[in-house]
Amino acid sequence: MCGIAGLVGTDDFEFQLKRMLEVQGHRGPDFTGTFFDRGFSALGHNRLSIIDLSQKANQPFNDVSGRYIIVFNGEIYNYLELKERLKHDYHFKTASDTEVLLAAFIKYGKDCLRILNGMFSFAIWDTLKKELFAARDRFGIKPFYYFKSKDVFVFSSEIKAIHNTGVNRKPSGMVWSNYFVNGSYGLPNETFWEGINQLQAGHYLELSNNQLKITKWYNFESNVNNQAKITDYEEAKAIYKDLLIDSISLRFRADVPLGFNVSGGLDSSALLALANISQKDISKIEAFTFYTGDKNYDELPWVEQIIARYKCPLNKVLLSANEVPGLSNFITQIQDEPFGGIPTLAYSKLFASASKKGVKVLLDGQGMDEQLAGYDYYNNNSKSTIQGINKSPFRKDMLHPSFADNVSKGEYPTPFKSSLENQQYRDLFYTKIPRSLRFNDRVSMAYSTELRVPFLDYRLVEFGFSLPVEFKIKNNQGKWLLRDLISNHVGRNVSYTPKRPLQTPQREWLGHDLKSFVKNHIDNIKSSEYKSWFNETKMDLEWHKYLAGDNQSSFHIWQLVNFSMLLA
């Protein structure tokens, strides 16, 4: 896992590329490399060494002919199998997955994407044709941002790197308005900044003669519809278990120490149970969990119960209220865009703790809810996108009417006949997963650590998504097949416990311990150049109502704080 950067145009770009690599240096502290095709392009790379730690695997990396230059962020988990497949077509000089990826591209062209199992964002410069090819993995686990003018094309792993080249840092009013009114973090190709876009998950781009072409290469809808229809529950459970174990096994491939992020829920329990089957014994692998000292929210009792089965060393990481102001400022700058709140801060401390202990790779149980219908609103057929919330967390009245009306309809594609599947599809590609993947990529890379999500193996997601609804939801509980599958490994009290949202005392802290912190940020908004976006009277009213106890949701208060930290 690393940082990539590049510029294509007629300048030499040496100064701009250096600034880009400096500002995202936390993504790869082990080596910083550059390549210049003077008058045409410049490519840069910040390396975090995970597979093949030798200098031979440093990037930018060129093939044996020198024609193709690649910068790559991510991991190709099936690189050993692909290397065996390609050994008669390419002479390998490293043990890296980077070289396997480049060899696959040389052999198969853009069709190589379909045989990759991994998380990736990469760009390849053809020094002969003077063309750029870039691609992003199926679910967008790894980021790819770009800016294009009539003179230059710029790409990077983080938005701040593009802004560091001199691109104007101007917020997108449309995206910010949607964020406040609907809680949207933008469409898959959007960012919160004008002129800066994302390469959408499952897409590739081609740049030739300053002409940009973007193409969708991953057809999830077709893949799901072409899945063999499994009607036998025990058969589905057996196939799913095999896929789970294989997915976890692939993500144990690394030349550095690995660890686990764990909570007290079903998904972490499943990850540990199946990793123990896959690896035979995980008792020496470090595990990390956070707590806040509030028994109403902390999951330590459940975490300790799970960990006791496997005897992993457990690192308990405390987040206290007095850390929030400083840590939130740091994470805001790391994120470049709004993020979810204090739970993200707590989660970030796991990576800080792992980094201090020399653990470079952490596995996490993310992605199961969207494929096996784990959220409560799937079960009650609600249009909600938030687990466990009855009252809307958004407060449109805090905005000036002219700004609040600057919103899109927020409608998402519905490619499936089933309303449940369309909700799952929305969460996979438009709301839940894109949002959390962005949050988590930034907080992991802030501490030069790699996050792997085995439950987002595309084979697993496609198969789980395609299963009949009765395999997913039973007795008013989602993820039924997974619960049933691991009940013998973790016990029924864990396996059949209702889903708990990952929580911190955010509601209480914002209204008590952090009251002055919040008030200062609200005041900052009132004196900022964007104060016209807001209705000050309504904003104050919502804050006073919150302090008086109207705090079922704290998201609208966090939105103000996060906006102030980014723009005010």
Q: Are 479 and 266 in contact (CB under 8 A)?
A: yes
pLDDT value at 104 more than 60: yes
Query: What average pLDDT does the structure give for the chain?
Result: 94
In this structure, what token pair is assigned to residue 406? 């600057």
Identify the band that residue 498 occupies on the pLDDT scale cut at 50, 70 and 90.
low
Q: Are 367 and 427 in contact (CB under 8 A)?
A: no
The per-residue pLDDT for 406 is 82
CA–CA dist 106, 86 (Å, integer): 10
pLDDT value at 403 more than 70: yes
pLDDT value at 345 more than 70: yes
Q: Name which residue leads in pLDDT, 498 or 420.
A: 420
Identify the band that residue 185 occupies on the pLDDT scale cut at 50, 70 and 90.
very high
Determine phi and psi for 66, rounding to 5 degrees: 85, 0
Which value, to the nearest 10 degrees, does the dihedral of the CA atoms of residues 436, 113, 147, 15 take? 100
- Number of Cβ atoms within 10 Å of the Cβ of 230: 18
Q: Are 261 and 350 in contact (CB under 8 A)?
A: yes
Query: Lowest-confidence range among 57-66, 232-241, 407-416, 553-562?
Result: 407-416
Q: Which of 462, 479, 478, 388 is nearest to 425 (CA)?
A: 462
Percent of the residues in the chain that have a pLDDT greater than 90, as a whole number: 90
- Residue 76 is inside which H or E element, if any? strand 68-76
Q: What pLDDT, in 10s, does the model give residues 35-90?
A: 999 999 999 999 999 999 999 999 999 999 999 999 999 999 999 999 999 999 99
Identify the band that residue 488 occupies on the pLDDT scale cut at 50, 70 and 90.
confident
Q: Are 272 and 282 in contact (CB under 8 A)?
A: yes
Measured N-to-C along each axis, helices 324-335 and 342-356 cross at an angle, to the nearest 10 degrees, of: 90
pLDDT value at 491 more than 80: no
In this prediction, residues 273-301 reach a mean pLDDT of: 94
- Residue 147 is inside which H or E element, if any? strand 145-148
Amino acid at 369: D
Give how far Cα 423 sits from Cα of 48, 344, 382, 412, 540, Å: 36, 24, 9, 9, 35
In this prediction, residues 307-324 reach a mean pLDDT of: 96
Identify the band that residue 385 occupies on the pLDDT scale cut at 50, 70 and 90.
low
Percent of the residues in the chain that have a pLDDT greater than 70, as a whole number: 96
Identify the band that residue 497 occupies on the pLDDT scale cut at 50, 70 and 90.
low
Identify the band that residue 304 occupies on the pLDDT scale cut at 50, 70 and 90.
very high
- Number of Cβ atoms within 10 Å of the Cβ of 62: 16
pLDDT value at 502 more than 60: no
Q: Which of 77, 208, 205 is nearest to 131 (CA)?
A: 208
pLDDT value at 273 more than 90: yes
pLDDT value at 294 more than 80: yes
Determine phi and psi for 270, rounding to 5 degrees: -65, -40
pLDDT value at 379 more than 60: yes
Identify the band that residue 407 occupies on the pLDDT scale cut at 50, 70 and 90.
confident
The per-residue pLDDT for 490 is 76
The domains of the chain, with CATH numbers, are 3-218 (3.60.20.10), 223-392+402-495 (3.40.50.620), 508-566 (no CATH)
pLDDT value at 496 more than 70: no
213 strand-pairing partners: 206
CA–CA dist 81, 384 (Å, integer): 42
Q: What pLDDT, in 10s, does the model give residues 424-474?
A: 999 999 999 999 999 999 999 999 999 999 999 999 999 999 999 999 999
Q: What pLDDT, in 10s, does the model give residues 171-180?
A: 999 999 999 9
Strand arrangement of the beta sheet that strand 152-156 belongs to? 31-37, 41-47, 3-9, 152-156, 145-148, 196-198
Determine phi and psi for 389, rounding to 5 degrees: -115, 130
- CB neighbour list of residue 113: distance below 8 Å, 6 or more residues apart: 135, 204, 217, 218
pLDDT value at 383 more than 70: no
